[in-house]
Structure 1
Amino acid sequence: MPDIRNPILPGFNPDPSIVRVGDDYYIATSTFEWFPGVQIHHSKDLANWELVVRPLNRKAQLDMRGNPDSCGVWAPCLTHDGDKFWLVYTDVKRKDGSFKDAPNYIVTAPAIEGPWSDPIYVNSSGFDPSLFHDDDGRKWFANMLWDHRRRPLTFAGIVLQEFDPKAGKLVGPKKNIYQGTELGLVEGPHLYKRSGWYYLLTAEGGTAYEHACTLSRSRDIWGPYEDHPQKYVVTSKDTPSAALQRAGHGDIVDTPDGRTYIVHLSGRPVRSEKKRCVLGRETAIQEAYWAEDDWLYVKNGPVPSLHIDVPGTRDDAPYWAEQRYTFDNGQPLHKDFQWLRTPEPERIFTCGGSNDSNRLTLTGREAIGSWFEQALVARRQTHFSYEAETLIDFQPSDERQFAGLTAYYCRYNFFYLTVTAHSDGQRELLIMSSEASYPEGKLQQSTTPLEPVKIPNEGKVKLALRIRGGLELQFYYALEGEGEELKEIGPVFDASILSDECGGHQAHGSFTGAFVGMACSDVNGTEAQAGFEYFTYRPIEDPRDRYEI
């Protein structure tokens, strides 16, 4: 079989749930506070993947305004019962403090493209739910349990209860079927049935460098479940030299010819002592096999491999190709882009418009760190080294209106080159930054104070940034009418703070990845608009970014 290189879904694509329907494979991944919710990729060969739909795309299904950073859609589970697709997901409303608010929902669709139904509310007892379709037609709902009586809150195990699709609710008894191993933090359950055994795959150890996939089994769906002889079928926790770190939270799929694979999340830290995963948690794949003892083993595991044999041969050319996005009138926003929280995109952007038919127009709303309504449209950073560029047309009246180019992780961690104005109306360029990190394990938040650069009050401005190795970020600009040569502006920033390890809560509380895109704010409330004529994302092949075991 051909050899491919992990990850199969680079950049922020965590918590993969995989299903095969005939010859088609689908992977659903978490999107957290980014809208629309859930990414579903499709493949015919486990090598080449294409984003085909984000199913949670309207207010009735998902409204995340007010959700804190790294809340929103956690760990979807995508299944098919022979008739239709089922998608289970959590919309986390709060994860910090003395209580967790994690309502769970189910939507269905006759085809992967939809239409996807309005959601059925299931419960709020914990996150990472899954739905298992047993061979007798019954459906079982499994999710982790918070014990809210204890401080700090406790991961109390995996709870199982039957789901009645006709009644649209859980029915019958519920039972805590698995409390996990000594690694702790048991979550992300997936159930399977094979050779008379029920298998339970869970995620343990948190989402940082102790993460793992734990496998157990029972003859009865209610348990008791015995642990795998190795306990952890995928993990990098004891192998700091492995190319794929933070490996865990997986799902199992069989090919039509009987081979078995497990997809799982992983992270690739930048090449420095900081061990920061600027690309977020990515989806990787491992080949596995069922041994004579009826246990699943990962080939050459449990440490995940960088190179894997799969049925298909991957074409890497699209991954390294420059992407130039235009915003033609009447055309939808390119599928690579998402925005934050709001299910009412018409309030924050339009493609084209009455004045210019080929631009993205952002309507200024709240500041870039808002948890409610901000006009920020961005795409994932999927390479350690890349360049981004846009051309902005914006006439701010004062310092409360600003728009431009941002490299963004969350409200605590971003870099933002803006076109704004002094209080006297003089237009200027200003870099805004928020740089949270954890020296000695404590949150330290800082900004880099910079003097603005005065620019003419008329004319478009080209804004650009360059990131190398996930470590160094430099901004650039060029003024209309002064040639195309870009000039440096500001210092070289530490791009590695755009990572889970720095995102306001460290790696056990920050779960997304770095984005790059366009933003506009008008805290005057006058809805100033900024026009962006194009956006370019240019990957850079730097040998220093190549990861090998």
Structure 2
Amino acid sequence: MTGLRNPVIRGFAPDPSLVRAGDWYYLANSSFEWFPTIPIHRSRDLAHWEYAGHVEGAAPGDSLAGVPDSGGIWAPSLSWDGERFWVVYSIVRSVGTPYFDADTYVSTATEVSGPWSPPRRIPSHGFDPALHHENGRLWLLNLQNDHRPGGRRFAGIVATELDRETLTPVGTTHLLLQQDRLIEGPKLLKRNGWYVLVLAEGGTGFEHGVRVARSRSLTGPYELDERPLLTTRDAPEWPLQKAGHAELVETPEGEWFLSHLTARPLKTPKGLRCPLGRETAIQAVTWDAEDWPRLRHGDTRPAATFEIPDLQRPDRGAGNCATSPHRPAADNAPPSYTLRSPAAPSWIDPTTRPGWLRLRGHHGPDSLWSHHLLARRITEHHTEAQVTLQATPSTFTQSAGLLLWYNTSAYYALDLTWAEPEGEAQHGQQWQNTGRTVLVLTTRDENETRRAAVQEVDADTPLTLGVTVHRTEAQFWHLSEDTRSPVGPPLDFTRLSDDHGSRLRFTGAMAAIHSVDLVDASFTADFTDFRVVCTPA
């Protein structure tokens, strides 16, 4: 037997969509404003997962420029019709307003590593679309959004048949289910003559859960199970919280499992906070005497561990095997992430200085358009990130450094930049006088940006910057004569979470490097040995 430890995909990996194709399982996650779009992992045993690629081209024009924080690509749904993979998803361009301004797209591929077909737009009733394949027919499920004053933003689940070739609607749209508690994220399967509708319930926070409904007809009416399949809303001390947004899958042996999102909270004086974001977990499922799905361990709360039968582990060198419609990614390594557009030769140069990565500066960290940043997911509450940097900023409009990042209104930045001589006030005419090179620690928290520390440093030699995260605290530092010298006070790492602040937040904390030039994008910074080490507790 193989012991499964949840979460199976750790750190920012929300809204999992799980499908089996042959002997392999594939899982897609939301990417929001980040590239690569729609990351996909694969597994042979549901316990051990590896990066398998992403849906390249999911954002038309390879751009999400201007989308708000936590906008972009929401809740992709991955499916397999026996010949092709299908992915359906929404690009959400308004967050926190009655209008989601969502465009829904479909793309297909014979292998999850691509190539994926150019996205084709289909009807957009709301976010959280999914596809159901049955006897050569294709059905689109969706959340219905009622934006009108007095309307319900989560106004029920609808289904529309689509022509498989043209993706145009066939017939009318059917209302499947409405209820008073918020429901979204529909996934549909057929078992024992029942159409089983798996729903996310209660929003994406600590009230989250999974509810199931069923019908003898695809178009309804649907009967709602009296009890949730999965939730921690009444268990604030449970180690896995926010359990919801799920999908059922059957193994070749006839066993059933459930993928769902979850989060690992930290206790703070302000309540529970989850800076690692929403992660992916797996639960074993059985069916009761009345044919409703139940968690195998007999609870509605997610299990942190359980055992599954041993299966053949992936052979990384086997290439495309007969039982897997998949060509492995080149190195199966998770990628670095970029904001709102993919990395481009115009701003990232790995060749000019061997062993170093050169980033050209552009917009500042608050930009929704063109921030030149490379990030990696933080997957554990004990994490250390560091990088060696060399740059020569000559104005306060140029900077480069190391970040702890959540979004454009929540980050900590340790930057190498220019400042006036010590004791001299800021006056904005840097080219008329000499200055000094400094490390500046900046904290950004929604509407407040402040400098937490300023230290003068030698700009003539490379400088190693780092940050150590220990649960709720983050301490920035730099190396001075092989000794770590703290920069500024310890900072509250949990501010970089969904649970802090007044705005909707749906992603997770990252460690990143970036380069800024607000004038003419001529400034460059060289980085080497960027590493993020996450240590499980």
Q: TM-score, normalised to structure 2's length?
A: 0.90
Shift in CA distance, 343/386, structure 1 to aligned 2, threshold 3 Å: closer
2:194 aligned partner: 197
The Cα RMSD (Å) is 2.0
2:301 aligned partner: 303
The alpha-carbon deviation at position 295 of structure 1 amounts to 1.2
Gaps of 5+ in 2: 314-329, 420-429
The question of 1:240 aligning with 2:236 is answered yes
1:547 aligned partner: none
The alpha-carbon deviation at position 314 of structure 1 amounts to 12
Does the Cα contact within 8 Å between 2:70 and 2:507 map onto a contact in 1?
yes
1:286 aligned partner: 283
Q: Map 1:439-458; keep pairs closer than 5 Å.
A: 445-458=447-460
The alpha-carbon deviation at position 421 of structure 1 amounts to 0.5
Q: Distance in 2 between matches of 1:256 and 1:334?
A: 28
Query: C-alpha offsets along residues 488-511 of structure 1, whole Å, 9 cap, x if unaligned?
Result: 111110111010012551xxx210
Does the Cα contact within 8 Å between 2:340 and 2:369 map onto a contact in 1?
yes
The alpha-carbon deviation at position 451 of structure 1 amounts to 4.4
Q: Map 1:77-116; keep pairs closer than 5 Å.
A: 77-116=77-116
2:515 aligned partner: 520
SS in 2 for 1:366: coil
Does the Cα contact within 8 Å between 1:42 and 1:50 map onto a contact in 2?
yes
Q: Distance in 2 between matches of 1:473 and 1:343?
A: 28
1:459 aligned partner: 461
The question of 1:255 aligning with 2:251 is answered yes
SS in 1 for 2:299: coil
**Comparing 399-408 and 56-65, the one that deviates more:** 56-65
The question of 1:531 aligning with 2:526 is answered yes
Q: Distance in 2 between matches of 1:153 and 1:95?
A: 16
Q: Distance in 2 between matches of 1:292 and 1:333?
A: 42
Supply the AA of the counterpart residue of 1:475.
Answer: F
Does the Cα contact within 8 Å between 1:98 and 1:152 map onto a contact in 2?
no
The question of 1:268 aligning with 2:264 is answered yes
User: Which of the numbers 391, 407, 412 marks the counterpart of 1:410?
Assistant: 407
Supply the AA of the counterpart residue of 1:223.
Answer: G
Q: Distance in 2 between matches of 1:61 and 1:213?
A: 35
Shift in CA distance, 412/74, structure 1 to aligned 2, threshold 3 Å: same
1:188 aligned partner: 185
SS in 1 for 2:499: helix
Shift in CA distance, 396/152, structure 1 to aligned 2, threshold 3 Å: farther
Supply the AA of the counterpart residue of 2:262.
Answer: S
Q: Determine what percentage of the aligned residue pairs are the same residue.
A: 36
The alpha-carbon deviation at position 333 of structure 1 amounts to 12
The alpha-carbon deviation at position 58 of structure 1 amounts to 6.8
SS in 2 for 1:433: strand
Q: Distance in 1 between matches of 2:32 and 2:310?
A: 30
The alpha-carbon deviation at position 345 of structure 1 amounts to 2.5
4+ aligned runs moved over 6 Å, structure 1: 331-334
The question of 1:432 aligning with 2:433 is answered no
Does the Cα contact within 8 Å between 1:336 and 1:380 map onto a contact in 2?
no
Query: C-alpha offsets along residues 107-132 of structure 1, whole Å, 9 cap, x if unaligned?
Result: 00011111100001012220000000
Q: Distance in 2 between matches of 1:16 and 1:416?
A: 30
Query: C-alpha offsets along residues 517-547 of structure 1, whole Å, 9 cap, x if unaligned?
Result: 10111001233111111212223454xxxxx
Query: C-alpha offsets along residues 448-494 of structure 1, whole Å, 9 cap, x if unaligned?
Result: 4334211223111100000101x111111125xxx322211111101
The alpha-carbon deviation at position 286 of structure 1 amounts to 0.7
2:326 aligned partner: none
SS in 1 for 2:252: coil
Shift in CA distance, 451/98, structure 1 to aligned 2, threshold 3 Å: same
Query: C-alpha offsets along residues 78-111 of structure 1, whole Å, 9 cap, x if unaligned?
Result: 0000110000111111122342211110000011
Does the Cα contact within 8 Å between 2:384 and 2:469 map onto a contact in 1?
yes
SS in 2 for 1:396: coil
Does the Cα contact within 8 Å between 1:396 and 1:425 map onto a contact in 2?
no
Shift in CA distance, 129/206, structure 1 to aligned 2, threshold 3 Å: same
Q: Distance in 2 between matches of 1:341 and 1:372?
A: 7
Gaps of 5+ in 1: 316-330, 437-444, 543-549
Supply the AA of the counterpart residue of 1:175.
Answer: H
The alpha-carbon deviation at position 336 of structure 1 amounts to 3.1
Q: TM-score, normalised to structure 1's length?
A: 0.89
SS in 1 for 2:488: strand
**Comparing 145-154 and 516-525, the one that deviates more:** 145-154
Supply the AA of the counterpart residue of 1:49.
Answer: W
SS in 2 for 1:500: coil
The alpha-carbon deviation at position 361 of structure 1 amounts to 1.4
The question of 1:174 aligning with 2:169 is answered no
Q: Distance in 2 between matches of 1:163 and 1:58?
A: 20
Q: Distance in 1 between matches of 2:407 and 2:332?
A: 22
SS in 2 for 1:452: strand
2:375 aligned partner: 378
Q: Distance in 2 between matches of 1:382 and 1:314?
A: 26
Supply the AA of the counterpart residue of 1:466.
Answer: T
Shift in CA distance, 332/194, structure 1 to aligned 2, threshold 3 Å: closer
SS in 2 for 1:94: coil
Shift in CA distance, 19/332, structure 1 to aligned 2, threshold 3 Å: closer
Query: C-alpha offsets along residues 160-208 of structure 1, whole Å, 9 cap, x if unaligned?
Result: 000112122222110111113x3x2211000000111101111110101
The question of 1:349 aligning with 2:348 is answered yes
2:318 aligned partner: none
Shift in CA distance, 541/29, structure 1 to aligned 2, threshold 3 Å: closer
SS in 1 for 2:204: coil
Query: C-alpha offsets along residues 228-285 of structure 1, whole Å, 9 cap, x if unaligned?
Result: 132x101011111211111110000111111100010011111334200011001111
Does the Cα contact within 8 Å between 1:35 and 1:57 map onto a contact in 2?
no
**Comparing 381-390 and 143-152, the one that deviates more:** 143-152
Shift in CA distance, 61/132, structure 1 to aligned 2, threshold 3 Å: farther
2:219 aligned partner: 222
